[in-house]
A = this chain, B = another copy of it.
Protein backbone atom coordinates (compact mmCIF):
# COMPACT_ATOMS: atom_id res chain seq x y z
CA UNK A 1 0.00 0.00 0.00
CA UNK A 2 2.80 2.38 0.78
CA UNK A 3 3.90 2.30 -2.88
CA UNK A 4 0.39 3.15 -4.07
CA UNK A 5 0.31 5.89 -1.45
CA UNK A 6 3.55 7.36 -2.80
CA UNK A 7 2.15 7.43 -6.32
CA UNK A 8 -1.00 9.16 -5.08
CA UNK A 9 1.04 11.68 -3.14
CA UNK A 10 3.20 12.39 -6.18
CA UNK A 11 0.07 13.23 -8.17
CA UNK A 12 -1.63 15.22 -5.40
CA UNK A 13 -2.20 18.83 -6.50
CA UNK A 14 -2.40 19.89 -2.82
CA UNK A 15 0.84 18.17 -1.78
CA UNK A 16 2.72 21.47 -1.65
CA UNK A 17 0.40 22.86 1.03
CA UNK A 18 1.53 20.42 3.72
CA UNK A 19 4.63 22.56 4.06
CA UNK A 20 2.50 25.56 4.97
CA UNK A 21 1.59 23.83 8.23
CA UNK A 22 3.62 22.72 11.18
CA UNK A 23 3.07 18.97 11.42
CA UNK A 24 5.12 17.51 14.31
CA UNK A 25 7.85 15.00 13.45
CA UNK A 26 6.76 11.42 13.97
CA UNK A 27 3.08 12.28 14.18
CA UNK A 28 0.28 11.14 11.88
CA UNK A 29 -2.40 13.60 12.82
CA UNK A 30 -5.90 12.28 12.26
CA UNK A 31 -7.52 14.76 14.62
CA UNK A 32 -7.59 17.95 12.59
CA UNK A 33 -11.37 17.69 12.89
CA UNK A 34 -10.92 18.40 16.60
CA UNK A 35 -8.01 20.87 16.60
CA UNK A 36 -6.44 21.83 13.28
CA UNK A 37 -2.66 22.07 12.81
CA UNK A 38 -0.73 25.29 13.20
CA UNK A 39 -0.22 27.24 9.96
CA UNK A 40 3.43 28.23 9.72
CA UNK A 41 2.40 31.84 9.09
CA UNK A 42 0.52 32.12 12.38
CA UNK A 43 3.41 32.73 14.82
CA UNK A 44 4.79 35.64 12.79
CA UNK A 45 1.37 37.19 12.48
CA UNK A 46 0.84 36.89 16.22
CA UNK A 47 4.20 38.49 16.95
CA UNK A 48 3.15 41.37 14.70
CA UNK A 49 -0.19 41.72 16.50
CA UNK A 50 1.27 41.39 19.99
CA UNK A 51 4.51 43.36 19.70
CA UNK A 52 3.53 45.80 16.96
CA UNK A 53 -0.17 46.38 17.20
CA UNK A 54 -0.66 45.90 20.94
CA UNK A 55 2.81 46.72 22.30
CA UNK A 56 3.57 49.77 20.12
CA UNK A 57 0.15 50.80 18.85
CA UNK A 58 -1.73 50.25 22.10
CA UNK A 59 -5.27 51.64 22.14
CA UNK A 60 -4.71 53.37 18.78
CA UNK A 61 -4.71 49.97 17.06
CA UNK A 62 -8.48 49.63 17.37
CA UNK A 63 -8.56 52.00 14.41
CA UNK A 64 -5.03 52.08 13.02
CA UNK A 65 -4.64 48.29 12.83
CA UNK A 66 -8.28 47.65 11.98
CA UNK A 67 -9.06 45.63 15.11
CA UNK A 68 -12.53 47.13 15.23
CA UNK A 69 -13.41 45.58 11.84
CA UNK A 70 -11.73 42.22 12.37
CA UNK A 71 -14.96 40.31 13.20
CA UNK A 72 -16.50 41.44 9.91
CA UNK A 73 -13.28 41.05 7.91
CA UNK A 74 -12.70 37.44 8.92
CA UNK A 75 -16.42 36.69 8.59
CA UNK A 76 -16.38 37.99 5.02
CA UNK A 77 -13.48 35.65 4.21
CA UNK A 78 -15.35 32.64 5.59
CA UNK A 79 -18.54 33.58 3.73
CA UNK A 80 -17.68 32.26 0.24
CA UNK A 81 -16.55 28.95 1.76
CA UNK A 82 -20.03 28.34 3.17
CA UNK A 83 -22.19 29.80 0.39
CA UNK A 84 -22.88 33.11 2.08
CA UNK A 85 -22.49 36.74 1.12
CA UNK A 86 -19.66 38.61 2.83
CA UNK A 87 -22.01 40.76 4.91
CA UNK A 88 -23.94 37.73 6.18
CA UNK A 89 -21.12 36.26 8.29
CA UNK A 90 -19.35 37.55 11.40
CA UNK A 91 -16.81 36.09 13.82
CA UNK A 92 -17.69 36.35 17.51
CA UNK A 93 -17.55 34.46 20.79
CA UNK A 94 -17.85 30.66 20.76
CA UNK A 95 -20.10 28.27 18.86
CA UNK A 96 -22.11 27.75 22.05
CA UNK A 97 -22.68 31.45 22.66
CA UNK A 98 -23.65 32.00 19.03
CA UNK A 99 -26.10 29.11 19.23
CA UNK A 100 -27.77 30.82 22.17
CA UNK A 101 -28.04 34.11 20.28
CA UNK A 102 -29.57 32.54 17.20
CA UNK A 103 -31.91 30.10 18.98
CA UNK A 104 -33.16 33.07 21.01
CA UNK A 105 -33.59 35.14 17.87
CA UNK A 106 -35.57 32.37 16.18
CA UNK A 107 -37.89 32.01 19.18
CA UNK A 108 -38.60 35.75 19.10
CA UNK A 109 -39.34 35.52 15.36
CA UNK A 110 -41.84 32.69 15.88
CA UNK A 111 -44.00 33.82 18.78
CA UNK A 112 -46.41 31.13 19.94
CA UNK A 113 -44.00 28.34 18.98
CA UNK A 114 -41.60 27.10 21.62
CA UNK A 115 -40.11 23.85 20.36
CA UNK A 116 -36.51 23.79 19.17
CA UNK A 117 -36.11 20.51 17.36
CA UNK A 118 -32.86 18.60 17.12
CA UNK A 119 -31.72 15.00 17.14
CA UNK A 120 -30.62 12.95 20.14
CA UNK A 121 -26.87 12.52 20.04
CA UNK A 122 -26.31 15.87 18.36
CA UNK A 123 -23.13 17.53 19.61
CA UNK A 124 -23.93 18.14 23.29
CA UNK A 125 -23.49 21.89 23.36
CA UNK A 126 -26.18 22.31 20.70
CA UNK A 127 -28.67 20.45 22.87
CA UNK A 128 -27.49 22.11 26.08
CA UNK A 129 -28.07 25.58 24.68
CA UNK A 130 -31.69 24.61 23.96
CA UNK A 131 -31.88 23.43 27.56
CA UNK A 132 -30.54 26.79 28.72
CA UNK A 133 -33.46 28.54 27.05
CA UNK A 134 -35.77 25.86 28.44
CA UNK A 135 -34.53 26.72 31.94
CA UNK A 136 -35.47 30.32 31.21
CA UNK A 137 -38.97 29.11 30.28
CA UNK A 138 -38.58 30.28 26.70
CA UNK A 139 -38.01 27.07 24.77
CA UNK A 140 -39.01 23.45 24.74
CA UNK A 141 -36.44 20.91 23.72
CA UNK A 142 -37.63 18.53 21.03
CA UNK A 143 -35.52 15.56 19.94
CA UNK A 144 -36.36 13.22 17.09
CA UNK A 145 -34.14 10.68 15.43
CA UNK A 146 -32.93 11.38 11.88
CA UNK A 147 -35.60 9.34 10.19
CA UNK A 148 -38.38 10.96 12.24
CA UNK A 149 -37.26 14.58 12.03
CA UNK A 150 -39.53 15.58 9.16
CA UNK A 151 -42.57 14.05 10.86
CA UNK A 152 -41.71 15.92 14.03
CA UNK A 153 -41.87 19.29 12.26
CA UNK A 154 -45.26 20.42 13.52
CA UNK A 155 -46.85 23.78 14.35
CA UNK A 156 -45.06 24.02 17.67
CA UNK A 157 -41.60 23.98 16.14
CA UNK A 158 -39.96 27.41 16.01
CA UNK A 159 -36.54 26.20 14.94
CA UNK A 160 -34.84 23.15 13.53
CA UNK A 161 -31.27 22.99 14.85
CA UNK A 162 -29.00 20.40 13.29
CA UNK A 163 -25.30 19.78 12.91
CA UNK A 164 -24.52 19.38 9.23
CA UNK A 165 -21.86 16.64 9.68
CA UNK A 166 -22.40 14.51 12.77
CA UNK A 167 -19.46 14.82 15.15
CA UNK A 168 -19.28 11.10 15.84
CA UNK A 169 -20.18 9.48 12.53
CA UNK A 170 -19.55 12.27 10.04
CA UNK A 171 -22.94 11.56 8.45
CA UNK A 172 -24.21 14.59 6.53
CA UNK A 173 -27.74 15.88 6.59
CA UNK A 174 -29.35 16.83 3.30
CA UNK A 175 -29.26 20.53 4.05
CA UNK A 176 -31.50 21.60 1.19
CA UNK A 177 -34.21 19.00 1.86
CA UNK A 178 -34.38 19.56 5.61
CA UNK A 179 -34.36 23.31 5.26
CA UNK A 180 -37.21 23.06 2.78
CA UNK A 181 -39.19 20.74 5.08
CA UNK A 182 -38.71 23.05 8.06
CA UNK A 183 -39.84 26.06 6.07
CA UNK A 184 -42.91 24.14 4.88
CA UNK A 185 -43.77 23.65 8.53
CA UNK A 186 -43.27 27.34 9.27
CA UNK A 187 -40.06 26.79 11.22
CA UNK A 188 -36.68 28.43 10.84
CA UNK A 189 -33.43 26.47 10.45
CA UNK A 190 -30.06 26.88 12.19
CA UNK A 191 -27.19 24.79 10.81
CA UNK A 192 -24.18 24.03 12.95
CA UNK A 193 -21.30 23.76 10.49
CA UNK A 194 -18.64 22.96 13.10
CA UNK A 195 -17.80 19.57 11.62
CA UNK A 196 -18.12 20.42 7.94
CA UNK A 197 -17.13 24.08 7.43
CA UNK A 198 -13.70 24.36 5.83
CA UNK A 199 -13.64 20.70 4.75
CA UNK A 200 -16.36 20.57 2.11
CA UNK A 201 -18.36 23.02 0.02
CA UNK A 202 -21.50 24.30 1.73
CA UNK A 203 -24.10 26.46 0.05
CA UNK A 204 -26.19 28.04 2.78
CA UNK A 205 -27.97 30.47 0.48
CA UNK A 206 -28.74 27.91 -2.21
CA UNK A 207 -30.30 25.76 0.51
CA UNK A 208 -32.32 28.70 1.85
CA UNK A 209 -30.79 28.41 5.31
CA UNK A 210 -31.83 31.02 7.85
CA UNK A 211 -28.98 30.83 10.34
CA UNK A 212 -25.69 29.02 10.81
CA UNK A 213 -22.81 28.82 13.25
CA UNK A 214 -19.43 27.17 12.89
CA UNK A 215 -16.13 26.47 14.56
CA UNK A 216 -12.82 28.22 13.99
CA UNK A 217 -10.43 25.68 15.48
CA UNK A 218 -11.09 22.56 13.44
CA UNK A 219 -10.74 22.70 9.65
CA UNK A 220 -10.09 26.45 9.73
CA UNK A 221 -6.95 25.96 11.84
CA UNK A 222 -7.57 28.98 14.04
CA UNK A 223 -5.94 27.54 17.17
CA UNK A 224 -7.26 26.16 20.46
CA UNK A 225 -10.58 27.77 21.37
CA UNK A 226 -10.50 30.05 18.30
CA UNK A 227 -13.55 32.29 18.00
CA UNK A 228 -16.56 31.02 16.07
CA UNK A 229 -18.52 32.36 13.12
CA UNK A 230 -22.20 33.00 12.66
CA UNK A 231 -24.42 33.56 9.62
CA UNK A 232 -27.76 35.31 9.24
CA UNK A 233 -29.43 35.24 5.82
CA UNK A 234 -29.79 38.76 4.51
CA UNK A 235 -33.60 38.55 4.37
CA UNK A 236 -33.65 38.33 8.18
CA UNK A 237 -31.23 41.16 8.83
CA UNK A 238 -33.96 43.57 9.87
CA UNK A 239 -35.85 41.11 12.08
CA UNK A 240 -33.21 39.48 14.22
CA UNK A 241 -33.13 40.53 17.84
CA UNK A 242 -30.88 38.60 20.15
CA UNK A 243 -30.63 38.95 23.92
CA UNK A 244 -26.82 39.06 24.25
CA UNK A 245 -27.06 42.71 23.29
CA UNK A 246 -23.61 43.88 24.31
CA UNK A 247 -22.07 47.22 23.49
CA UNK A 248 -20.11 46.01 20.45
CA UNK A 249 -23.41 45.03 18.77
CA UNK A 250 -24.81 48.53 19.24
CA UNK A 251 -25.41 50.76 16.22
CA UNK A 252 -23.08 53.38 17.75
CA UNK A 253 -21.04 51.76 20.52
CA UNK A 254 -18.96 54.85 21.16
CA UNK A 255 -21.95 57.08 21.72
CA UNK A 256 -22.23 55.31 25.12
CA UNK A 257 -26.00 55.71 25.14
CA UNK A 258 -28.13 54.19 27.89
CA UNK A 259 -30.43 52.65 25.29
CA UNK A 260 -29.58 49.67 23.15
CA UNK A 261 -30.09 50.01 19.43
CA UNK A 262 -28.94 47.02 17.38
CA UNK A 263 -26.27 47.54 14.76
CA UNK A 264 -27.31 46.76 11.18
CA UNK A 265 -27.22 43.20 9.90
CA UNK A 266 -24.95 40.56 11.40
CA UNK A 267 -23.04 43.20 13.37
CA UNK A 268 -25.76 42.92 16.00
CA UNK A 269 -24.43 39.48 16.85
CA UNK A 270 -21.40 41.09 18.43
CA UNK A 271 -21.59 41.26 22.18
CA UNK A 272 -18.47 42.12 24.22
CA UNK A 273 -15.06 43.33 23.09
CA UNK A 274 -13.73 40.81 20.54
CA UNK A 275 -10.60 38.84 21.44
CA UNK A 276 -8.03 40.12 18.98
CA UNK A 277 -5.35 37.44 19.47
CA UNK A 278 -7.81 34.67 18.66
CA UNK A 279 -9.27 36.56 15.71
CA UNK A 280 -5.85 37.31 14.23
CA UNK A 281 -4.80 33.65 14.43
CA UNK A 282 -8.08 32.53 12.89
CA UNK A 283 -7.62 34.91 9.98
CA UNK A 284 -4.36 33.20 9.01
CA UNK A 285 -6.04 29.79 9.00
CA UNK A 286 -9.02 31.01 6.99
CA UNK A 287 -6.76 32.72 4.44
CA UNK A 288 -4.88 29.48 3.91
CA UNK A 289 -8.00 27.34 3.49
CA UNK A 290 -9.43 29.92 1.06
CA UNK A 291 -6.18 29.91 -0.91
CA UNK A 292 -6.16 26.13 -1.25
CA UNK A 293 -9.80 26.13 -2.30
CA UNK A 294 -12.74 24.30 -0.81
CA UNK A 295 -13.53 22.16 -3.88
CA UNK A 296 -10.00 20.81 -4.07
CA UNK A 297 -9.95 20.19 -0.33
CA UNK A 298 -13.18 18.25 -0.59
CA UNK A 299 -11.92 16.12 -3.48
CA UNK A 300 -8.77 15.25 -1.57
CA UNK A 301 -10.71 14.58 1.62
CA UNK A 302 -12.82 12.02 -0.20
CA UNK A 303 -9.79 10.45 -1.85
CA UNK A 304 -7.94 10.20 1.48
CA UNK A 305 -10.78 8.54 3.32
CA UNK A 306 -11.50 6.12 0.48
CA UNK A 307 -7.83 5.20 0.33
CA UNK A 308 -7.85 4.66 4.10
CA UNK A 309 -10.71 2.20 3.64
CA UNK A 310 -8.82 0.38 0.85
CA UNK A 311 -5.82 0.06 3.15
CA UNK A 312 -8.05 -1.39 5.85
CA UNK A 313 -9.50 -3.92 3.39
CA UNK A 314 -6.10 -4.92 2.12
CA UNK A 315 -4.84 -5.37 5.68
CA UNK A 316 -7.89 -7.53 6.22
CA UNK A 317 -9.04 -5.40 9.12
CA UNK A 318 -12.74 -5.83 9.51
CA UNK A 319 -13.56 -2.64 11.39
CA UNK A 320 -17.18 -1.77 12.10
CA UNK A 321 -17.66 1.44 10.09
CA UNK A 322 -20.33 3.72 11.51
CA UNK A 323 -19.77 6.49 8.98
CA UNK A 324 -21.63 6.36 5.67
CA UNK A 325 -19.71 4.28 3.14
CA UNK A 326 -20.61 6.73 0.38
CA UNK A 327 -18.08 9.57 0.64
CA UNK A 328 -20.67 12.03 -0.68
CA UNK A 329 -22.73 11.37 2.42
CA UNK A 330 -20.09 12.03 5.06
CA UNK A 331 -17.81 14.77 6.29
CA UNK A 332 -14.03 14.47 6.30
CA UNK A 333 -13.82 11.60 8.80
CA UNK A 334 -14.29 7.88 9.28
CA UNK A 335 -15.55 6.46 12.55
CA UNK A 336 -15.53 2.88 13.72
CA UNK A 337 -17.24 1.13 16.58
CA UNK A 338 -15.10 -1.15 18.71
CA UNK A 339 -15.67 -2.29 22.31
CA UNK A 340 -12.03 -1.43 23.06
CA UNK A 341 -12.06 1.85 21.16
CA UNK A 342 -10.58 3.81 24.06
CA UNK A 343 -7.59 1.51 24.62
CA UNK A 344 -6.91 1.19 20.89
CA UNK A 345 -6.97 4.96 20.53
CA UNK A 346 -4.47 5.32 23.39
CA UNK A 347 -2.16 2.67 21.93
CA UNK A 348 -2.23 4.46 18.57
CA UNK A 349 -1.45 7.80 20.19
CA UNK A 350 1.57 6.19 21.88
CA UNK A 351 2.75 5.30 18.37
CA UNK A 352 2.22 8.87 17.17
CA UNK A 353 -1.03 8.15 15.33
CA UNK A 354 -3.40 10.69 16.81
CA UNK A 355 -7.06 10.01 16.25
CA UNK A 356 -9.68 10.32 18.92
CA UNK A 357 -12.14 8.43 21.00
CA UNK A 358 -15.74 9.39 21.52
CA UNK A 359 -17.80 7.88 24.28
CA UNK A 360 -18.68 5.06 24.60
CA UNK A 361 -17.04 3.03 21.82
CA UNK A 362 -16.17 5.19 18.82
CA UNK A 363 -12.73 5.42 17.26
CA UNK A 364 -12.70 8.51 15.09
CA UNK A 365 -10.19 9.41 12.37
CA UNK A 366 -10.35 12.85 10.80
CA UNK A 367 -8.78 13.57 7.43
CA UNK A 368 -7.83 17.23 7.24
CA UNK A 369 -7.03 17.39 3.54
CA UNK A 370 -4.83 20.47 3.69
CA UNK A 371 -1.87 18.73 5.32
CA UNK A 372 -2.36 14.95 5.21
CA UNK A 373 -0.66 12.63 2.75
CA UNK A 374 -1.84 9.34 1.29
CA UNK A 375 1.26 7.83 2.89
CA UNK A 376 -0.16 8.86 6.26
CA UNK A 377 -3.22 6.73 5.52
CA UNK A 378 -1.15 3.66 4.72
CA UNK A 379 1.06 4.18 7.77
CA UNK A 380 -1.88 4.76 10.10
CA UNK A 381 -3.52 1.54 8.95
CA UNK A 382 -0.25 -0.34 9.36
CA UNK A 383 -0.04 0.90 12.97
CA UNK A 384 -3.67 0.05 13.60
CA UNK A 385 -3.12 -3.48 12.26
CA UNK A 386 -0.09 -3.92 14.51
CA UNK A 387 -1.92 -2.61 17.56
CA UNK A 388 -4.76 -5.03 16.95
CA UNK A 389 -2.58 -8.01 16.02
CA UNK A 390 -0.12 -7.66 18.87
CA UNK A 391 -2.89 -6.90 21.34
CA UNK A 392 -0.76 -4.08 22.71
CA UNK A 393 -3.90 -2.08 23.45
CA UNK A 394 -4.44 -4.54 26.34
CA UNK A 395 -1.55 -3.04 28.27
CA UNK A 396 -2.69 -1.44 31.49
CA UNK A 397 -1.53 2.08 30.65
CA UNK A 398 -3.75 2.16 27.58
CA UNK A 399 -6.83 0.75 29.28
CA UNK A 400 -6.94 3.16 32.18
CA UNK A 401 -9.50 5.82 31.38
CA UNK A 402 -8.45 9.34 32.17
CA UNK A 403 -11.05 11.70 33.58
CA UNK A 404 -10.76 13.84 30.48
CA UNK A 405 -9.90 12.47 27.06
A residues with a Cβ closer than 8 A to B are 22, 24, 27, 29, 31, 34-35, 37-38, 42-43, 46-47, 50-51, 53-56, 58-63, 67-68, 93-97, 100, 104, 108, 120-125, 127-129, 131-133, 135-138, 143, 217, 223-228, 241-248, 250, 253-260, 271-279, 281, 349, 354, 356, 358-359, 402, 404-405
The smallest C-beta distance from A243 to any residue of chain B, in angstroms, reads 4
Alpha-carbon distance A54/B46, docked complex (angstroms): 13
Bound together, the chains give a CA A67 to CA B34 distance in angstroms of 15
B-side contacts of A31, CB under 8 Å: 58-59
CB-based nearest B residue for A280? B277
Please indicate the chain B residues that have their CB under 8 angstroms from the CB of A50 in the complex: 38, 42-43, 46, 223, 281
> In the complex, which residues of chain B have a beta carbon less than 8 angstroms from the beta carbon of A223?
50, 54, 276-277
* Bound Cα distance A281, B51 (Å): 12
Pairwise interchain contact B258-A120, C-beta atoms closer than 8 A: yes
Interface-central residue, A37, A241, A256, A277, by most chain B CB under 10 Å? A277
Residues of B within 8 A of A243 (CB): 100, 132-133, 135-136
Provided the pairs A22-B55, A35-B58 are in contact, do residues A404 and B68 lie with their beta carbons within 8 angstroms? yes
Tell me whether B46 and A124 are in contact (CB under 8 A): no
In the complex, how many angstroms separate the beta carbon of A99 from the nearest chain B beta carbon?
8
B244→A129 contact, CB < 8 A:
yes
Closest chain B residue, CB of each to CB of A40: B55
Decide: B35 and A22 in contact? CB cutoff 8 A: no
Q: Does the CB pair B97–A244 fall under 8 Å?
A: yes
With a cutoff of 8 Å between Cβ atoms, the chain B residues found around residue A132 in the complex are 242-245, 260
> What B residues does A358 contact at CB under 8 A?
256
Q: How far is the CA of A62 from the CA of B277 in the complex (A)?
A: 19
Task: List 8 A-B pairs, minimum CB-CB distance, nearest first.
Answer: A94-B272, A96-B246, A96-B272, A132-B243, A224-B276, A125-B247, A38-B55, A225-B275
Answer whether A124 and B38 are a contact pair too, CB < 8 Å, given A59-B354, A129-B244, A243-B135: no
Which chain B residues lie closer than 8 Å to A404 at the CB level? Answer: 62-63, 68, 253-254
Closest beta carbon of chain B to A108's beta carbon, Å = 7
Known interface pairs A50-B43, A58-B27, A256-B359; A124-B250 also in contact (CB < 8 Å)? yes
Assess A58 versus B354: contact at CB under 8 Å? Given A42-B50, A121-B258, A272-B228. yes
A372–B374 alpha-carbon span in the complex (Å): 57
Distance of A354 Cα from B59 Cα, bound (Å): 8
Q: Which residue of B lies closest to A227 (CB)?
A: B275
Name the contact of A257 in the complex, choosing from B42, B55, B96, B124 (C-beta under 8 A). B124
Q: A51-B43, A256-B358, A404-B68 are in contact. Are A93 and B97 (CB under 8 A)?
A: yes
Question: Chain B nearest CB: distance from A230 CB in Å?
Answer: 12
A354 to chain B, nearest CB (A): 6
Chain B residues in 8 Å Cβ range of A37: 55, 58
Q: Are B224 and A54 in contact (CB under 8 A)?
A: yes
Q: Are A225 and B276 in contact, CB atoms less than 8 angstroms apart?
A: yes
Find the B residue at minimum CB distance from A120: B258
